Amino acid sequence: MKWMIASDIHGSAFYCRKLLERFSLENADRLLLLGDLLYHGPRNDLPEGYAPKEVLCMLNERKDQILCVRGNCDTEVDQMVLDFPILADYAWIDLGSRLIFATHGHKFNEASLPPLKRGDILLYGHTHVPLCKVTNGI
């Protein structure tokens, strides 16, 4: 199974469209969203192409392919308009020999690790900075 991972769309129809185009191009099976789907939050500027209603329509069309965790800007109101669950703080994905812990990053992150063991994977967004590194085997 091929996964695509994304985070922090913040209501940008422009970037959501680019994401879904790439999802199709890559022929991915599942889309893992690490939160902050519709709202930009009071500390962030409006993203390019801010149109949360368009974003929710685009994502709802792929509801059967999406696994999502809650970001710090996601609310119960967002859940009312999205056709897939978004309110879990984290999700475990079992790869057999290792586990993936997917979260937004505002609760669990490198400074506040969940219960992982060597070889497991922690995925989080929130920072708006792409990063991939190994720390203590995780």
For the chain, the 3-state helix, strand and coil shares in percent, each to the nearest 5, are: 20, 20, 55
Q: Please check the confidence at residue 70 and state whether its pLDDT lies above 60.
A: yes
* pTM of this structure: 0.90
Residues 6 or more apart whose Cβ sits within 8 Å of residue 133: none
What CATH number labels 3-123?
Answer: 3.60.21.10
CA 67 to chain centre: 8
* Weakest mean pLDDT among 29-33, 50-54, 59-63, 112-116: 112-116
pLDDT digits (tens, 9 = 90+) for 104-125: 989 877 777 777 888 888 898 9
